[in-house]
Amino acid sequence: MSPLLPLKPAPGTVSDRELEPRLVGFEDESAEQILSAVASATARRILNQIYTEPTTASEIATEIDSSVQNVSYHLDRLQDADLVEVIETWYSEQGREMDVYAPTNSALVLFVGAERNNPSLTTALRRVFGAVGIVGVVSAITHLRWSAPTTSPSPRTAELPVQQPDPTLWDSLAMFGTGPGGFVFVAGIFVILSLAVVWYFRTYRPARNHNQSM
């Protein structure tokens, strides 16, 4: 006679559940709790078994040759560290409920030096805008030096200065764009954008794809 309750349905694997990797820096608040939870060799064997296949405390105990009480103790600590979770319930032949444990993430990575290993797009944009500001200042100085009037020896017979109309904004922009200042600005922006594109495709994008594939 078959039991009325499902005994052991197939649990979802890590790939089936579409989990994301968890990156934890050594300076993060959760790092100490994680390291404490996996300090025991038994805890690490339990976590490794759960990553291999979601299972129950009794099956883990049988697999690693330990007691159910000891396994349950470490499972509670792993749950407190948010490393494992209960994803479903199985039933024994006697109808007793058994929690099925599975990892909360597809991978756990403890790292040092996050900015060097994981390039930040926000930080890169700040640097780009800062570089654009520097180029703007340099081009403005170049324009002012180029457009400054040159003094020449005054003739013996002084002539009345000719009143020149004030240049409009468009005239000033046209003078800046066609002069050395405009050339410095355009050349600087071109170099900055070229370096930004190279950084994006050679550093940021490969690092992001690598993290997503973990």
Q: Which tens digits make up the pLDDT trace of 100-136?
A: 999 999 888 887 764 444 566 777 788 888 888 898 8
Look at residue 5 in the predicted model and tell me its pLDDT.
45
Contact by Cβ (8 Å): 135, 188: yes
Report the C-alpha gap between 79 and 68 in whole angstroms: 16
pTM of the model as a whole: 0.50
Domain ranges of the chain: 14-111, 119-148+168-213
H/E run at residue 60: helix 57-64
Q: What is the DSSP letter of 202?
A: I
| CA distance linking residue 167 with residue 165, whole number of Å | 6
Predicted pLDDT of residue 44? 94
CB atoms within 10 A of CB 148: 8
At the topology level of CATH, where does 14-111 sit?
Answer: Arc Repressor Mutant, subunit A (1.10.10)
Query: What's the Cα-to-Cα distance from 20 to each of 10, 46, 101, 118, 173, rounded to whole Å?
Result: 21, 20, 17, 16, 51
At position 133, the amino acid (one-letter code) is: G
Strands (E), the chain: 22-25, 84-91, 97-103, 108-111
Beta strands in 140-213 (DSSP E): none
The pLDDT value given to residue 99: 92
DSSP assignment letter at 25: E
Each residue's pLDDT tens digit, 42-75: 999 999 999 998 999 999 999 999 999 999 999 9
pLDDT higher than threshold 50 for residue 2: no
Q: List pLDDT tens digits, range 196-212.
A: 888 888 877 777 666 55
Residue with tokens 């990156």: 23
- pLDDT band of residue 175 (cuts 50, 70, 90) is confident
Q: Say if CB 82 and CB 47 are below 8 A apart.
A: no
CB 17 within 8 A of CB 88: no
Distances (CA, A) of 208 to 52, 105, 117, 211: 26, 17, 10, 5
User: Does residue 153 register a pLDDT over 60?
Assistant: no
3 state DSSP class of 101: strand
Give, in order, the Cα–Cα distances in Å from 142 to each of 126, 136, 181: 25, 10, 5
**Of 9-18, 30-39, 56-65, the least confident:** 9-18
Are 214 and 107 in contact, with CB atoms under 8 Å apart?
A: yes
